Each structure stands twice: as structure tokens, then as C-alpha cells.
Structure 1
Amino acid sequence: MELPTELNLTTLFEQLGLPSDEASINDFVEAHPLDSDTKLIEADFWSPQQAQLLKEWLRADGEEAVIVDELNVRLHRGK
């Protein structure tokens, strides 16, 4: 799968098959807060395919990993 040149949370949510407008992303984050003991990729609300995509983006260790980390921070803060 070819990725767009600009990566951001919208791109990640599109790749995850989730609504990707700003309001939907904010709603998702507020509805799925993670406690400090739960790793992003182990959260129970991801499908196996979504969790795999997150793992792949983290392993890419580039701009993709930065975007996943941004989501991780937001879900752990709940904002």
C-alpha cells in the first residue's frame, strides 16, 4: 500500500479505516482513553488488522512512527 507524501493523524485514521476528520479523531480519542499500563498496540478496541498496521508504522521508525506516537500520547491523555 502506497502512503501519501504528508503523514498525519488524518492519514493514519484513513489507513485504519476510521473516520478521519478532526472532530471524529477527537471523538475517538475521548471515547478510548488508555491507562498508563496499556500499550497502544495492545488496546482491545483495535481489530487485528488495525493493530498490525500500527505495529508496521512503529517499526518503520520514521514519520510513520512519529504519527503513531502522537496518537499514543493523545489516547493516554484522553485528549
Structure 2
Amino acid sequence: MENPVHSMANLFSQLGLASSNDAMTLFVRLHTLSPTIELEKAPFWSPSQIAFLLEARADDSDWSELVDQLDVMLHQPTWH
């Protein structure tokens, strides 16, 4: 298995979000999603963020694994 090209901090930066460990933890805590809301349909994303998330998954890009990890993190209220 190859090492990831990007880190979670890189993904947050790519999405225009603060990317320190504390900032990422706070974002996840403040934006926990219910199981019925898909990541890309969360109300807090901008249109450009939604487009990036959708494209990353659709293209199975270097970002797709991290987008999947972010999805899991936002659906688990105890992540930190």
C-alpha cells in the first residue's frame, strides 16, 4: 500500500479551512453530521467545497481517501 500523497491538514487547507490540529478538531466537533446527511450535502459547505468533495470522490483522486476519512470523522461525534 502506498503512502498517502496528502495529509488531513492538506485537505483542510484545500477546502479553505484552518488546518492546525486544534482547528481541525474544533471543526469536526462543531460540524458533526447525523447519519442521514451525506458529507457533500452538509449545509456548511460552500459551492466550491462541494464541487471539490464530489470531484475527489468521483475521480478517485489522491484526495478521495482523505475525503472518505473526513466523512467518517464528521459522522462520529466522539472523534478528536
TM-score, normalised with respect to structure 1: 0.88
8 A contact 2:18–2:24 mirrored in 1: yes
Q: Contact 2:9–2:19 (CA<8 Å) still a contact in 1?
A: yes
Q: 1:13 corresponds to which letter in structure 2?
A: F
Q: Which residue of 2 aligns with 1:16?
A: 15
Counterpart CA distance in 1 for 2:61 and 2:46 is: 23
**Residue 6 of structure 1 corresponds to which residue in structure 2?**
5
- Identical positions, percent: 36
Structure-2 residue corresponding to 1:46: 45
Pairing of 1:25-64 with structure 2 (within 5 A): 25-64=24-63
Q: How many residues align?
A: 75
Tell me if structure 1 keeps the 8 A contact 2:40–2:50.
Answer: yes
Using the alignment, how far apart are the partners of 1:73 and 1:37 within structure 2? Answer: 13
Q: In angstroms, what is the RMSD of aligned CA positions? A: 1.3
Q: Where is the helix percentage greater, Structure 1 or Structure 2?
A: 1
Which runs of 5 or more structure 2 residues have no equivalent in the other structure? none
Runs of 4+ in 1 over 6 A off after TM superposition: none
3-state SS of paired residue (2:6): coil
